[in-house]
Structure 1
Amino acid sequence: MRVMVLVKATADSEAGQLPAKEMLAAMGAYNEELKAAGILVTADGLKPSSKGKRVAFDGADRTVIDGPFAETKELVAGFWLWEVKDMDEAIAWVKRCPNPMPGPSEIEIRPFYEMSDFAGLLGD
């Protein structure tokens, strides 16, 4: 099962505050554990939404919206892509993660759709 593990943004990450050396070291060690376990596919951190853009669609129209975006709690600051046996394994690994932010934070786990989810729609 593939899952995307999303580190939710905070006021600190949206302000562009870089992590402390200790956090980078702890997260590096955690990522090495994920690699050794054969779970980690890829991972990365994202710059603040002030550096980003959104493209809004309305029929044939496209509108570019400059960041920053208002709802910090709905933004993503970083992610992992994991290959796990099930959601329980993903939860167990997230619980082992160092707190990714200087204060309170959240990590969201979202499964990917797989081709088997569309079996009845593909006309096989």
Structure 2
Amino acid sequence: MKFMVIVKATPESEAGQMPSAELLTQMGRYNEELAKAGVMLAGEGLYASAQGARVRFDGDKRSVIDGPFAETKELIAGYWLFQTASLQEAVEWVKRCPNPDGGQSEIEIRQVYEFGACGGELTPELLEQQQRIAEQITARQ
């Protein structure tokens, strides 16, 4: 099972403040543990929302909203992509993570829909298309 592990933003991360050398060292050790265990598929930090944008959809209309965005607690500062046998295993790995903020912080874990999980909605043509896309991605890595 794949899980997106979402590190929530803080006022400091939204201000562009980089983590301390100590936290980066701790996170590096944690990432090495994840990689050695075969759990970590990907993971990176994100720039503050001031350097991002949102595209809002309203029917056929599209509008672009430039950052920064309000409600820091709803923003994402970084992520991991885990491969584990269960949600509980992902939770156990996240509980071992260094505290990203030092004070109160939160990391969210969400299961990723995997290939073929859409059931009857996925026609043979759509399955074939998804397979081609996966092959193209793999070829570029």
Fold match by TM threshold 0.5: yes
Structure 2: give runs of 5+ residues left out of the alignment.
Answer: 125-141
Q: Which amino acid aligns with 2:55?
A: V
Unaligned stretches of 5+ residues in structure 1: none
- Structure-2 separation of matches of 1:5 and 1:104: 17
**Map of 1:54 onto structure 2:** 54
SS of the aligned residue for 1:110 comes to: strand
Which is bigger in relative contact order (C-alpha 8 A, separation at least 6)?
1
Per mean C-alpha deviation after superposition, the further-off stretch among 31-40 and 97-106 is 97-106
RMSD: 1.2
Alpha-carbon distance, 1:104 to partner:
1.4
- AA at the equivalent of 2:18: L
Using the TM superposition, name which of 58-67 and 41-50 deviates more: 58-67
| Aligned-pair CA distance for 1:71 | 1.0
Residue 117 (str. 1) matches residue 117 (str. 2): yes
Q: Give the aligned length.
A: 124
- For residues 35 and 63 of structure 2, the distance between their equivalents in structure 1, rounded to whole angstroms, comes to 40
Find the aligned partners of 1:15 and 1:115 in 2 and give their Cα distance.
Answer: 37
TM-superposed CA distance for 1:116, in Å, is: 4.3
- What pairs up with 1:1-124 in 2 under 5 angstroms? 1-123=1-123
CA contact (8 A) 2:41 2:82 kept: yes
Moved >3 Å (runs of 4+) = none
Cα distance per residue 1:24-47 (max 9 Å; x no partner) = 000000000000000110100001
Same amino acid, percent of matched pairs: 57
CA distance in 1, matches of 2:54, 2:122: 31
Q: Higher helix fraction: Structure 1 or Structure 2?
A: 2
Q: Please tell me whether Structure 1 or Structure 2 has the larger radius of gyration of its CA atoms.
A: 2
Q: Which whole-Å CA distance do the structure 1 matches of 2:14 and 2:122 have between them?
A: 41
Report the residue type matching 2:56 in the other structure: A
